[in-house]
Amino acid sequence: MPISEVMRNKLKRALAASRVALVGASPEQLSVGMGALFNLLAASFQGEVLPVNPKYKKILGCTCYPSLEVIDPPPDLAILLLNQHAAVEMAERAAKHGVAAVTIVAGGFKEFGEGGMELEARLRQVAEHYQMPVIGPNTLGFSSFHKGLHGIFWHLDTVPGPVAVISQSGGVGLTIANCLRDLECGLSHFIGAGNCTVVDFEDYLEVLSGQPEVATFCLFIEGLKNPRGFFECARRMAPHKPIVAYKAGKVEEVGRATVTHTGSLTGEYRTYQAMFRQAGILEAASSWDAAVMSKALSMLRPPAGNRLCALTFTAGPSIVAMDRLLASGWELPDLSASAGVHIRSIIGEKTPVDLQNPVDLTGPGFLPHTYASVLDMLLFEPFDAYFLAWSYNALIRIPIAELEDFRKATDKPFVLVLLAPEREARPYLKDLNARGICTYLTPEDGATALNALLDRSRFLERTPGATILPSQ
């Protein structure tokens, strides 16, 4: 069942906490008690960081408190860096003291067998009795990056951005977050949902859906304890903000592994597929694809239709992309006769090329002014989206300013595929994305991004009352 309104308000307060206690903080570099403290202090968090450990007077320059109860007023959030038994006891103490919410890092609950299930039931009773939300247990914790609240206990190098990652697995969640970082796309939140003992996916969606810094949700799901509740919530949220899901446990044997990981039953995969489709959730096939899709959905509006134009001066990558794009329902309308004449006048009458869609400019196309001139002309053709391919050469300028002008001239979505090795592309990738030009390094990723936008467009088309946000 979804958490109560009281608990939801406390969860919202915790996700934007200004006073954070870390119970079990430690100066030991290799301890769990160091990670969250270090991350909070190293981030741009402007609130109070309150280590709690009776063994120490100070840790990393912060006054260390002998107990949670001596902190007055009570903190918004207590991160419990303790073993599972001590954590449950401390959760009750925190609730009695008036702490809004706790994060329990420790495992050893329902994923650990009968004894763990009993401990988890006790934790749930404490949370319900005191109306206190519990993040986890068995989690890395959570971070709210626009507030500098970097509270997970593991390393994650990212920047504030538009994607909220909510993951049952800390490892997969970090993988998705790192993929987004490689794509020059930051995070609004990272939430390790863990066992979802008290707070579940639908609760996080409800609380974060109204936050303007969240443009897209990206979920990693092993299994759901309340599929109906999740479905109803996602169906309400998806018309207003995109939801991408990467689902584990597609074969029966994997289900046994998830039970010992987060205690989740993966369920029948085909049922999940149907649920995602009906709720408007876009399913990703991998961690990388989840990141690719989330970036596109955060940066670009869905297309008004399925008429696509591809512009390139090297045909192969466009052909690779077209295999995927056409299979997903995109169409490649022919150029108008006048457009063909105009392009000929730009690239030269003697250029040996049969102009069609994809528009392959061959040799003249690698000249920035030629490429940009054709692109500007294509804006007047009746296309709904664009796939642009540019092959990097260190001796030739990438038409970045012209691409930015094109972006400003239209609200139609386009992706740029910059065909370059990552080590050479990195500074350009950073610059292009800062200018709002959604850029990838492979044609396959460009196709995955555009296909997500088309799927989103189809969902919105059949959903009354749906909202298209400015970033979309």
CATH code at 5-297: 3.40.50.261
Report d(CA 256, CA 238) in Å as an integer. Answer: 30
Residue numbers in the chain where pLDDT is lower than 70 = 1, 252-267, 349-354, 466-472
The pLDDT of residue 254: 52
Establish whether the linkage from the previous residue to 358 is cis, with ω within 30° of 0: yes
The pLDDT of residue 470: 47
Q: Does the fold of domain 303-461 match that of domain 5-297?
A: yes
196 phi and psi angles, rounded to 5 deg: 55, 40
The pLDDT of residue 355: 73
Token pair 């997500």 is at which residue? 452
- In the three-class reduction of DSSP (H, G, I as helix; E, B as strand; rest coil), residue 70 is classed as helix
Whole-angstrom CA distances from 264 to 2, 102, 165, 169, 221 are 17, 21, 19, 11, 9
pLDDT per residue as tens digits for the range 278-300: 999 999 999 999 999 999 999 99
Residues 74 and 48 sit within 8 Å (Cβ to Cβ): no
Report d(CA 267, CA 382) in Å as an integer. Answer: 45
The pLDDT of residue 352: 54
The number of C-alpha atoms within 13 Å of 319 and in the hemisphere containing its C-beta is 5
* Topology annotation, domain 303-461: Rossmann fold (3.40.50)
Beta bridge partners of 387: 310, 415
Q: Which residues contact 408 (CB under 8 A, 6 or more apart)?
A: none
Helices 227-237, 201-208: axis angle to 10 degrees equals: 20
The residues spanned by each domain of the chain are: 5-297, 303-461
Task: Enter the DSSP assignment of 307.
Answer: B
Helices 201-208, 5-15: axis angle to 10 degrees equals: 70
pTM, full prediction: 0.92
The pLDDT of residue 323: 95
pLDDT per residue as tens digits for the range 116-136: 889 999 999 999 999 999 999
Q: What is the residue-wise DSSP string for 119-144?
A: HHHHHHHHHHHHT--EE-SSS--EEE
Closest CA to 372 of 336, 396, 338: 396
The length of the chain, given as a count of residues = 472
The pLDDT of residue 256: 53
